[in-house]
A and B are shown apart, each in its own frame.
Chain A
């Protein structure tokens, strides 16, 4: 099976712009989670989607949003970009949303905000 894919892999934006990142989960996986990784804050949970519904949300401002499509593919959007949004954005998928299940991570999208 193909792994989790994320597009684009690298992105440069300027402050005030918005950005959309895409994640394709492993075939058959219905749960997609998003994480932000920065040197200062480490890996932080953004949100989780399961069957097109947001099931959990981390402590991020409303500028961060996401959605999941019927084929389980997911997108996250960041509006009004700030310098501090520069980070590696990671997507992970799992078959369901149970604590015993393994999450499989993609390679990430590295976003640089200038």
Chain B
């Protein structure tokens, strides 16, 4: 399975942008890049995903490198509610189904 590498932790101030990096140098052509986050005592929550092009939604933006070996999740204005563990995940499409392979994730702390 292709692995992802993320910093263990990052800190941000409220209302400032946050750039969460993810390296996935062994990504394959059919792997989608998904980002999920997990707030304390909750199940993971979908944030955004993409294949090759940059993506935007109401929660965040996803910037994907041209060679697809890295990506960056961008929170445009961090709030205290964005404090969570953020997971960068490659979604495989295998012949017998697909699954999410979680890495260590990045613990984001947002300071007031």
B11-30 vs A, Cβ < 8 Å mask (1 yes, 0 no)? 00000000000000000001
A95-109 vs B, Cβ < 8 Å mask (1 yes, 0 no)? 001111011111110
Q: B43 touching A100 by the CB < 8 A rule?
A: no
On chain A, the number of residues with a Cβ less than 8 Å from chain B's Cβ atoms is: 26
B86-112 vs A, Cβ < 8 Å mask (1 yes, 0 no)? 010001111011111111110000000
The 4 closest A-B pairs by CB, nearest first: A55-B97, A105-B43, A43-B102, A99-B93
Contact A98:B102 (CB < 8 A) given known A90-B44, A108-B43: no
Binding site for A on B (CB under 8 A): 30-32, 34, 36, 42-46, 49, 51, 87, 91-94, 96-105
Q: Which residues from chain B contact A4 at a C-beta distance below 8 Å? A: 43
12 contacts between A and B (CB under 8 A): A35-B100, A42-B103, A44-B102, A55-B97, A56-B97, A56-B99, A90-B44, A92-B43, A97-B97, A102-B49, A106-B43, A107-B43
Q: A98 touching B42 by the CB < 8 A rule?
A: no
Give the dominant DSSP class at A's interface: strand
Q: Which residues from chain A contact B94 at a C-beta distance below 8 Å? A: 56
Q: Which residues from chain A contact B34 at a C-beta distance below 8 Å? A: 102
Q: A45 touching B42 by the CB < 8 A rule?
A: no
Binding site for B on A (CB under 8 A): 4, 31, 33, 35, 42-45, 48, 50, 55-56, 58, 90, 92, 97-100, 102-108
